[in-house]
Structure 1
C-alpha cells in the first residue's frame, strides 16, 4: 500500500504580472488542486504570496512560513504551478530546493514536470532556473532601456518631486505630462531662495516644519529631504537619470559614470541663476569644516597656523571664577595639534573675538583708506609684471628643448630609412622621444597661458575698490550664516605673524563670486530673510583676481 503524500501548494503573483500578463492566483491554485486530486495526494497547506515580486525572499512571508513548516516535517512535497513562482533568481531557487531536500521535502513544478530527487532532475532544474533568470534579466534590461530612452528624450521616469504632478493626456493613460502645482512650487522656490541666502539645511527644515509644511509623502522635512530638493536639476527644467544601477541591491555603491542629463519637456520652477548660485554654495560648503562647538566661529579653516601652516579650528576652555560662575573662552587653535598632538605642532591659539575683529577691521580699512588699497593694487600689478621676464626665460628654454627633441626625431628617422638602425631600437627610442616631447609641449602651453594673463591690461584701482567695498558692505549687513558663507567663498587664507596677530588676508575674486554675490541679488532678496542685499552692478571679472590686504 502506497503511503499518502502530503503536499504543500505554493502560489505567487506580482502586481505587474497580474496587470500585464493576466496571471491569477486562483487559476494557479485550481490547477494544482486538480493535479493533487488526480494523483491522490493530500493538500495539507496552501501558501500564497499575493502582489509580491519573486526577485528575493524578503517580503515573501508565506514562503518564509513554508520553509519553517518544512523543517517541522509538516509535508512531503512542495508543488508550484511554475518553478519561477518559487524564485526568479537561479541562486535563490537552488537555495530553497536545497533547504527543502535537507528536510526530506521534494519539490515539483506542474508546468516543468521533473523529479528533483534525481541527478537529471536537479540538472534540469538548474537549467530551467538559469533560463528563467535570463528571461527576468532580459525583461529588466528592456525596461531599463525604455526608461533611458524616455530620459534621453526629456521625459521623466517614476514619481515626480514636490512642486509637480503627472497628468494623463490620452484615454489609455499611456501618455502623460508634468505640470506645476503652484502651492508646492512656491515652497520649492522658498527652499532654494533660503539656501541661496546662506541658510543651512537644518535651519531650512526647521523653518518649514515650524510653519507646518510637509514633504511630498506627507512627512516633516529633514536635512536629507532639503538636500534632495536643492540637488535635483528637475526644478531647473532638466531630466536626470541613471545616476545609480541596481539601487535595490547596491544603493549608493551602484553609482555609474553614464549619467543622463538633458533638457526636459516639463516647466522649470526656479531660474538658472538661482540654481547656479545654490550649486556653487553646495560645492563650497562641502569643503567647509564641520561645527565642533556652539558659537559663531567665522574663520574656522581660514586662519593658518603660524608654525606648521595647517588650518586652525574652533576650540574653547571652561574655567570657574571664585564665585563659582563659569567662564568660557573661545579660540582658534592649530588643527594638527588638536588631531595629532604636541609631537606634531603646538596649539598656537588666538582669541576668537580678537582674530575676527582684526580681519573685519582690515577689510574696512582697505575700503575707507584709499592709500592702503592703492598700495595693494600697485603690488598686484608689480607682481604680475615681475613674473613676465622669468616666464619668458622659462618659455625660451622649453622651446629649445622642443627643437632639440624634434631634431633628434628627424635624425633617427633618417638612420632608419638608410637601414643603419635596428627596427626595434628605432621604435623604442622614438617612443621615448615622443613622451619627452609631450611633456615639453604641455609645459609650453601652460607658460603661454600664464604669460597671456600677466601681459593683459593692469588691474585697475576702481575694479579692486568696487569688489572689496561690496564685499565689506555685505559682511556688515549680513547675519552670521551669510557672513561665514561669504568669508569662505572669497577669503582663501589668513596668515598670522610671529606674535600670532593677523598678518596677510588673501582674497580671491572670480567670475562666479562676482556674479552671484557681489552683483545684483536674485529674487531671494525679496523672498528669503537675510538674502545677500545689493543693488547696482559690479564690474565683470573674466578670471580670478587674488589680492593681499
Structure 2
C-alpha cells in the first residue's frame, strides 16, 4: 500500500518569469556580448544593430548600470582564444564587476555545448546571470541547464533531417553569392547578363589565360560581381571555375555541423560522405567546357607544385661549413627595398 498522501489543500506555486528571476531592488551591473562570425556587409550590419539595441535596452532600465558592450567582430565561435572581448568579459565577471550578461543567442556565446555549459556553470557560481534572448533562457533558472541540453537535442534532430534529405538527393539551394543565378520560388533562375560574365571566365581560362590575368581583365572592364563590386582577384575567379552549380550539378554536405547547440560548422574534407546530384537545374556552362576546365585546373595545380618543389632546393642548403663542420641552411629575407637577402 502506498504511503503517498494527496493533500486536498495543495496549490500551484508558478515558476518565475525571466524578468522575475533578476533580483528586484538590487542595482544590477549589466553587460552585453555580441559577435558575428564573418566580415561581410550583412553580418556587420547585424553586428552594429546588436550593439545599438543593447546600448539602448540597458540604458532604458533605471535599476541597471551599464558595464559595457563586449563585441567581437568577424571572429568564429570556434576561435575561443581569439575572442578578446569575450575573454575580457569573463575576467570582469571573475572580479565581481558584472551581475548580468545579455546575449542574442547561445550560438553567439559559446563554440559548443560543453563550453556553453562550462561557462554557464562557472558564472552561476559567481552569481552572474546570462540571459539568452532567442532561446528565452535565463541561467538563474533551476531548469536552465536542462533547457540548454534539450535545445541541443532538438537541434540535433533537425540536423539529422537535413542529412537524410542529402542522402535522398534533395537539393537545398544557397544562391545568395552565386553570380548568374537568382532563386525564384526555391528554384535557380539564370540571370543572363551575369551568366555572360561566367561563360567568359570559363572560355578565357579554357583558352589558356591565367586566373590572375582574367581577374585583371574583369576589373579593368568594370564587370560586376554578385555583391555589386567591380574589383576582382584570383579567389573570386577561382571559386567560379570550381562551382559545380554552373554545370547544373550540386554537391551536398560540403560542410557539416560539429555542435548542435551552437551550430558550429566545418568544411567537409572527407570526414563525412558527400552526395552529388547531377542535372538538377538549368546550366550556364555545358558539360564539355566544364570537364575541360576542371582538367586544366588540375594540370596547372600539379605544375605549380612541381615548380615550388624545385625552388625549395636552395643554393646554400645542405652544404658543409668548413669552419664549423655544420650543415648550412639557406635563409631568405625580404628587405624593405623589395630585394631578397640570402643568409645562413
The TM-score, its normalising length taken from structure 2, stands at 0.56
What is the distance in 2 between the residues matched to 1:43 and 1:337?
A: 65
Secondary structure of 2:303 counterpart: coil
User: What do the CA deviations read for 1:204-232 (whole angstroms, capped 9, x no partner)?
Assistant: 11222222223212252221221111111
Aligned to 1:274: 289
Secondary structure of 2:65 counterpart: strand
Please report how far the alpha carbon of residue 44 of structure 1 lies from its aligned counterpart in structure 2 after TM superposition.
3.4
What is the distance in 1 between the residues matched to 2:285 and 2:128?
A: 61
Aligned to 1:502: none
User: In the alignment, is residue 107 of structure 1 matched against residue 129 of structure 2?
Assistant: yes
Please report how far the alpha carbon of residue 135 of structure 1 lies from its aligned counterpart in structure 2 after TM superposition.
2.7
Please report how far the alpha carbon of residue 191 of structure 1 lies from its aligned counterpart in structure 2 after TM superposition.
0.8
Please report how far the alpha carbon of residue 6 of structure 1 lies from its aligned counterpart in structure 2 after TM superposition.
3.5
Is the Cα contact below 8 Å between 2:179 and 2:194 reproduced in 1?
A: yes
Aligned pairs, number: 264
**Larger Rg over CA atoms:** 1
User: In the alignment, is residue 131 of structure 1 matched against residue 119 of structure 2?
Assistant: no
User: What do the CA deviations read for 1:126-152 (whole angstroms, capped 9, x no partner)?
Assistant: 444333322333334445555x37x82
Aligned to 2:27: 6
Aligned to 2:116: 93
Partner of residue 206 from structure 1, selected from 178, 200, 216: 216
**Which blocks of at least 5 consecutive residues in structure 2 are unaligned?**
1-23, 37-41, 43-52, 321-344
Please report how far the alpha carbon of residue 290 of structure 1 lies from its aligned counterpart in structure 2 after TM superposition.
5.2
Is the Cα contact below 8 Å between 2:248 and 2:282 reproduced in 1?
A: yes
What is the distance in 1 between the residues matched to 2:206 and 2:107?
A: 52
Aligned to 1:508: none
Secondary structure of 2:291 counterpart: helix
Secondary structure of 2:256 counterpart: coil
Aligned to 1:161: 178
User: What do the CA deviations read for 1:245-264 (whole angstroms, capped 9, x no partner)?
Assistant: 24985644654452222124
What is the distance in 2 between the residues matched to 1:228 and 1:279?
A: 12
Q: CA RMSD in A?
A: 5.2
Secondary structure of 1:152 counterpart: coil
Aligned to 2:206: 196
What is the distance in 1 between the residues matched to 2:186 and 2:193?
A: 21
User: What do the CA deviations read for 1:313-334 (whole angstroms, capped 9, x no partner)?
Assistant: 68xxxxxxxxxxxxxxxxxxxx
The TM-score, its normalising length taken from structure 1, stands at 0.38
Partner of residue 187 from structure 1, selected from 190, 197, 209: 197
Is the Cα contact below 8 Å between 1:245 and 1:256 reproduced in 2?
A: no
User: What do the CA deviations read for 1:426-482 (whole angstroms, capped 9, x no partner)?
Assistant: xxxxxxxxxxxxxxxxxxxxxxxxxxxxxxxxxxxxxxxxxxxxxxxxxxxxxxxxx
What is the distance in 2 between the residues matched to 1:208 and 1:101?
A: 56
Secondary structure of 1:288 counterpart: helix
Is the Cα contact below 8 Å between 1:11 and 1:80 reproduced in 2?
A: yes
Partner of residue 252 from structure 2, selected from 223, 234, 241: 241
User: What do the CA deviations read for 1:343-364 (whole angstroms, capped 9, x no partner)?
Assistant: 9xxxxxxxxxxxxxxxxxxxxx
- After TM superposition, the structure 1 = structure 2 runs for residues 363-374 of structure 1, keeping only pairs within 5 Å, are none
Over 3 Å counting, the alpha-carbon distance change for 1:90 and 1:237 in structure 2 is closer
Aligned to 1:230: 241
Over 3 Å counting, the alpha-carbon distance change for 1:206 and 1:339 in structure 2 is farther
What is the distance in 2 between the residues matched to 1:8 and 1:195?
A: 60
Over 3 Å counting, the alpha-carbon distance change for 1:241 and 1:82 in structure 2 is closer
Secondary structure of 1:287 counterpart: helix
Aligned to 1:259: 274
Is the Cα contact below 8 Å between 1:11 and 1:49 reproduced in 2?
A: yes
Secondary structure of 1:215 counterpart: coil
Aligned to 1:450: none
